[in-house]
Structure 1
Amino acid sequence: MSKTIAMMQPYLFPYLGYFQLIAASDLFVLGDDLQYVKEGWINRNRILVGGEPKFITFPLKKDCHTLNINQRHMCDNIQDELSRIIRTISLSYSRAPFAKTVLPWLEQVLRYPQSNLARYAENALRETCDYLHITTPVIRASDLTLPPPIDHQDRVIQTMKVLGGKTYVNPIGGRSLYCFDYFMSHGMQLRFHRIDTIEYKQLKQPFVANLSIIDVLMLNSVEQIRQMLSRFSLLES
């Protein structure tokens, strides 16, 4: 049974720390049945455009704001929007050292024929993990058929029990959402992931941190990125 488990919403091309979290886990759970958050990080992220951080956004169909991520869909003209996104990335990173390798791969991932937001993001995450040789198994929370949770903390506890988890790892930004003693009362440990200060040569200075993994891929080799994957801390309190 798995021991260390992490769980996050399926984000589209998230920052490096997201992939550190996957690589540091024995099992990673995609929270595809969590509620979609407008103007969050699920269907948008930042890249460098003209040396400045700019959002690239994957437009969705207009729908009820209470729907879950796996109930949302891409807009009807998503192929046109993808062409625009690909053009923006291509122009912005045309001089990047690994553009010739990354751009064809990235376009193939972006053109994945799936309108469901959760499935589309899941495929992009899996493809990126394969590209970076991250072998952690990834599963969907919606496949676990868990009972309705009392709150976010109980949802994690339920997931851990079903999967046999002993240690739950959460990004450090969520410290206020979880209680160490509560996890201990269920025989589990709680840890918080904190990415180290990581800088690499970007196309222009000053360095902009925590951009989309697209920026990292364009400017670093797979070997360099794999070294970055281990540059984090797991905090116990």
Structure 2
Amino acid sequence: MKLAIMQPYFLPYLGYFQLINAVDEFVIYDDIEYTKKGWINRNRLLSCQGEMLVTLPLRKGSDYLKVNQRYLADSWVKDRVKLNNRIRNWYIKAPYFESIEPIINQILFAPCVNLFDFIYNSLIHLLRYLQIQTPLIRSSTLDFDSSLKGEGKVLAICELQSASEYLNPQGGVELYDKASFTRCGVDLQFLNCLPYEYEQFSPPFTPFLSIVDVLMFNDLATVKLMLNEQYSIK
């Protein structure tokens, strides 16, 4: 059984979905501490002027709150209309805008105000479009020692889920000891998202943007090829 574990991200890049597509179960950390530095509530999209950062506004709260304890700001009711209009203005001339705009609307105008619930809902909509059926599991629903950190936590979840193989993005090579996984009967593998260029508005190509950019410029058949072929496992 192949397993992957990741933090929740807002409209993540293609590699995130390649990882989900490559495993039998995908665990999302919803009960980890929210960090301001990272991509939990922000991502990059593309306009005719270049890449643009988009951010989900959050209510003020303690720096020690977990992701599932954070909430979208009260201003989100108005902010989501502005964000929807920005995305529409940026991508209205993209070849697959009409196919993807309804999904963006479903995501942005969902009734979720909890940060994790909002991100989880957005992933469900995107996975449905991509025809990926890998089950998503919230880490808070799993019965393991929550005081564990890093590699210890990952191994505990692998044992709990009877995983024989654990896949992690290539960026985590320095985080884990392959021998430790082997001793626990788990084959540690790393997925490397290979460079994949497609035609955007104009060159040069801007890589590693949100999956939204990929979907705006490529039909579903092409994206499914990316999901299945454009990565290597080491």
- Tell me the number of residue pairs that the alignment of Structure 1 and Structure 2 aligns: 233
Deviating more after overlay: 148-157 vs 114-123: 148-157
Please tell me the residue identity of whatever aligns with 1:185: R
Alpha-carbon displacement from aligned partner over 1:28-73 (angstroms, at most 9, x marks no partner): 0011111111031010000012241110101101111111111111
State the alpha-carbon separation in 2 of the partners of residues 217 and 162 from structure 1. Answer: 35
Residue 67 of structure 1 corresponds to which residue in structure 2? 65
User: Given that residues 103 and 126 in structure 2 are in contact (C-alpha distance below 8 angstroms), is that contact kept between their aligned partners in structure 1?
Assistant: no
Q: Secondary structure at the match of 1:159?
A: helix
State the alpha-carbon separation in 1 of the partners of residues 70 and 130 from structure 2. Answer: 28
TM-score normalised by L of structure 2: 0.97
Match of 2:109 among 104, 108, 111: 111
Please tell me the residue identity of whatever aligns with 2:121: N
Alpha-carbon displacement from aligned partner over 1:162-192 (angstroms, at most 9, x marks no partner): 1110111111111111100111111111111
Query: Once superposed, which parts of structure 1, at least 4 consecutive aligned residues long, lie more than 6 Å away?
Result: none
State the alpha-carbon separation in 2 of the partners of residues 11 and 179 from structure 1. Answer: 25
Residue 6 of structure 1 corresponds to which residue in structure 2? 4
Residue 145 of structure 2 corresponds to which residue in structure 1? 147
Residue 232 of structure 1 corresponds to which residue in structure 2? 231
Residue 82 of structure 2 corresponds to which residue in structure 1? 84
Residue 53 of structure 2 corresponds to which residue in structure 1? 55
Please tell me the residue identity of whatever aligns with 1:76: D
Alpha-carbon displacement from aligned partner over 1:109-137 (angstroms, at most 9, x marks no partner): 21110111111100101110000000111
Residue 214 of structure 2 corresponds to which residue in structure 1? 216
Alpha-carbon displacement from aligned partner over 1:172-219 (angstroms, at most 9, x marks no partner): 111111100111111111111101110000012100000001101111
State the alpha-carbon separation in 2 of the partners of residues 224 and 149 from structure 1. Answer: 42
Shift of 1:151: 2.2
Mapping of 1:113-132 within 5 angstroms?
A: 113-132=111-130
Residue 172 of structure 1 corresponds to which residue in structure 2? 170
Match of 2:159 among 153, 158, 161: 161
State the alpha-carbon separation in 1 of the partners of residues 49 and 12 from structure 2. Answer: 19
Match of 2:18 among 8, 17, 20: 20
Q: Secondary structure at the match of 1:216?
A: helix
Whether 2:213 is the aligned partner of 1:181: answer no
Unmatched tracts of structure 2, length 5 or more = none
Q: Secondary structure at the match of 1:190?
A: strand
Please tell me the residue identity of whatever aligns with 1:91: N
User: Given that residues 51 and 203 in structure 1 are in contact (C-alpha distance below 8 angstroms), is that contact kept between their aligned partners in structure 2?
Assistant: no
User: Given that residues 9 and 119 in structure 2 are in contact (C-alpha distance below 8 angstroms), is that contact kept between their aligned partners in structure 1?
Assistant: yes
Q: For the aligned residues, what is the CA RMSD?
A: 0.9
User: Given that residues 84 and 105 in structure 2 are in contact (C-alpha distance below 8 angstroms), is that contact kept between their aligned partners in structure 1?
Assistant: yes
